[in-house]
Amino acid sequence: MSTSTLHIALRATALAAVTLLAACGGGGSDGSTDTSVSMATAESASANSMEMPAETTSAMSATMSTAQAVVAGAQAGATYACLGGGTAVFTATGGTAASLLNGQLDTGEVYSLQYNACRGSAGAAQINGAMTLTVVSAGSGNVTVATQTQGIVVTLPLRTLTLNGSSTFSQTVVASGASVTTTNHWTSPQIALTSLRNGATSSLTLTNIDLTRSMTTTNGLAAGSSHSGTLTLAAALPANTWTATIATQGAVAFDASGVPTQGSWAITLPHNAIGLTVAAGTATVTVDNGPDGSIDHTYTFGANALAGEAV
């Protein structure tokens, strides 16, 4: 090979290597990567950050309240006609002979429940599938259980959720006259979640869950709820795929239909930071690419419309 031909071949090889490196997001002496985030991804991450943590906590709250209703109204091994429709059956071990018959969750008891379109009360969420509750502690107005869900399906007003995984769930109930405040605290290393909404199914994985939900009812009617906490959400959606750590900034208020009315979230993606604030019916989304502490894009949406974009 002549000297000139060798030089041409080497230049072609170098150019091909640079082209490949650029296509992979590399290049440059500082190893920089593309840190931009599309408006579609920012919108999807914001919509699901405002809805999915609250919805999944509501779903777990529904499984807990339904379990309590079934245990209170049924006997182990007998099919129970749930007060809001459907049926359920459970077996129980642990505890004492007396505690297993008192219709309450007591420390040391283990319940295996099977639901068939069961609603614990009229208008409550519908539950299908199986779950196990191990009562860690129980006292006046307080109970903590370790849960294991095996394809539990919870039908909520906005979507149907299927949950698989183990968690710890604590409930505190405080009554004052006609008002009752129920606070639920849910933690889990990982929950596999399937969401069915408007005929479309989406798969999500929740990790490092630490969420709290508080709801006050007056004469049995709930005006809304508040939610707070953090989790990491990995979403594999038809339109896009992303992973973000989501943290509320204080408590977030939701109305009775499950739409947020007031609050803020910090949404951290691998190379971007998104801020979400809801107030007066408007959701404001800010995007900090890099992140370097400066806002690169700001988007505004109707809060109801954005909530409707969640899977």
Q: State the SS3 of 117-186.
A: EEECCCCCCEEEEEEEEEEEEEECCEEEEEEEEEEEEEECCCCEEEEEEEEEEEEEEEEECCEEEEEEEE
**Contact predicate 285/47, CB 8 Å:** no
Q: Phi then psi for 62, rounded to 5 degrees?
A: -65, -40
So what's the pLDDT on residue 171?
Answer: 97
So what's the pLDDT on residue 296?
Answer: 96
So what's the pLDDT on residue 14?
Answer: 36
Q: How far is it, in rounded angstroms, from Cα 44 to Cα 40?
A: 6
Q: How far is it, in rounded angstroms, from Cα 108 to Cα 93?
A: 8
So what's the pLDDT on residue 35?
Answer: 67
So what's the pLDDT on residue 33?
Answer: 55
Q: What is the pLDDT along the chain (311 residues), one digit of tens a residue?
A: 443 433 334 333 333 333 332 333 333 333 345 567 889 999 999 999 999 999 999 999 999 999 999 999 999 999 999 999 999 999 999 999 899 999 999 999 999 999 999 999 999 999 999 999 999 999 999 999 999 998 999 999 999 999 999 999 999 999 999 999 999 999 999 999 999 999 999 999 999 999 999 999 998 888 889 999 999 999 988 778 999 999 999 999 999 888 899 999 999 999 999 999 999 999 999 999 999 999 999 999 999 999 999 99
Q: How far is it, in rounded angstroms, from Cα 89 to Cα 288?
A: 51
So what's the pLDDT on residue 34?
Answer: 55
Q: How far is it, in rounded angstroms, from Cα 71 to Cα 103?
A: 5
DSSP 28: S
